[in-house]
Amino acid sequence: MYKYLLCWRYLRTRYIALASVISVMLGVATMIVVNSVMAGFSEKMRDRLHGVLADVVVESYSLDGFYNSDEVIARLMDVAGGQIDAIAPTMETPGILHYRFSDGQVITRPVQLIGVNPLDRAKTGDFAEFLRNQKGELIKPSFEVSERIRDKTPAGSLLRSLADDSGEPLDEKMEKMIRDELEEQKREQAPTRGAILGYALATHHPGKDQPDVYIAPEGTKVGLLFPRAGEKRSEGGFDTFTVVGYFKSGMSEYDSTHVYVPLDRLQDMRLLRDVHGRGAVSQIQIKTKPGVRLDTLAEKIQVALDDLRPGFFRAYTWEQKQGPLLGAVAIEQSILNILLFFIIAVAGFGILAIFSMIVVEKTRDIGVMKALGASTSGVRDIFLGYGLLLGAVGSGVGMLGGLVFVRYINEIEHALSVVMRRKVFDDSIYYFDKIPTLIEPFTVVWIVVGALVISVGASIWPALRAARLNPVKALRFE
């Protein structure tokens, strides 16, 4: 019992020990906050990456793809039909986008041109959840050029003004001629082929606290240049489309490069049809049913496709497809944890120094306790218990402080932004309206346990030194 009483007394009276408690507290709180924010960012990024890609992706090594997509899909259904929920053939190719800005300047950007059947693609991922109109509202997955979008073109505006004219009515024949001419202009200015542009391709962010400006609003006529298939050499193809919506995934890598167009139109323009009229595709996006092990399924698909055409196909899971990016985030988080853990390690050295000083100061007291019958293990346990108590208090308070900070991190960010007069967390960079956080119980537990282990470990050497003191020599210390 005397051991616990002494530990509690030292904790209350030795104010120098507060330095160690504060060090442990700050280390634990910092690690919990950083890990929660990193886990939140990682989870958001994984969700968005998974939303852009299907669960499993089958790709061809050739840019021109393969014409026997029906045969490939049939093979997939044979080997994994019970595990597949939806399939969407896709064609991807690099291209160049250009359109004319309002001041007449032509804007040219390299893009990744993706031909899809929008309804099929929406069934294999979160494609439909990323589609927005100019007001930021969700739109249905479609390339249809609606009348609303047609009316936004210059010809459409002129037609509207003619229809709304309150003056004297025009001659019926003259009015028909004008309308026919405007309809022709309208068809030229707004092709019936729609395209969905990446949000960052179509907008410009003028500065902080200002809304994005659309440089390619709905109804804009855009040109796309892309390579055509050829036996001897590839030639350039060109086509025009009308902007009918925007793809806003929140990942700049995709929002600044992806342009979605109708699959059949891209196959026609790239001359990717065989003598039987079959169009080529370069990818097959696969959505699996819940509970399917993606790695195992991808390996099974790979074996089946190698039997069909050896070395031509490659089956990836969405994580394997994004392996370098996800691996870089994991490595960054691990290195950051190692660096932050040094904060708690510094607190451990503080506990070691303080305990060594206490042993020197209390040498005579230790001798008295041993002379009164205290055992060697009892003296040792006093200092080990003291180290455990310091670690428990520091890690406990740090855990509570870290969890509270994570809970109100966005409110704290807002207050800091007001005080510093600048945005601490710029949502225009990360496309998050607030700081994402994710508290993982296992991570919190290992941080707290690690702090306790360091605290107890730092007190071992002083405890053994105190336990080995000879009572006679200790009583003669003063």
Give CA–CA dist 384/198, Å, rounded. Answer: 61
**Is residue 318 within 8 Å of residue 295, measured between CB atoms?**
no
**pLDDT 10s per residue in the chain (478 long)?**
555 555 555 555 556 667 778 888 888 898 899 888 888 888 888 888 888 888 999 998 888 888 888 889 989 898 887 888 999 999 999 999 988 776 667 888 999 999 999 999 999 988 889 999 888 888 999 898 877 777 665 544 444 454 444 444 445 655 555 555 555 555 555 566 889 999 988 888 776 667 778 888 888 888 888 887 765 556 678 888 989 999 988 787 888 899 999 999 888 888 788 777 788 899 999 999 988 898 899 999 999 888 888 888 999 898 888 777 777 777 877 887 788 777 778 777 877 877 777 776 666 666 666 666 666 666 677 777 777 888 888 889 999 999 999 999 888 888 888 887 777 776 655 556 688 888 889 989 988 998 888 888 888 887 777 766 666 565 565 5
Burial of 46 per CB tally in 10 Å (0-12, 13-18, 19+): middle
Beta strands per DSSP E along 301-452: 313-317
Give CA–CA dist 417/31, Å, rounded. Answer: 23
Tokens representing residue 322 in the block: 């994004």
Give CA–CA dist 477/246, Å, rounded. Answer: 82
Give CA–CA dist 31/341, Å, rounded. Answer: 7
Cα of first residue to Cα of last residue in the chain, in angstroms, is 28
Tokens representing residue 425 in the block: 């967390």
**Is residue 251 within 8 Å of residue 20, measured between CB atoms?**
no
Tokens representing residue 438 in the block: 């994710």
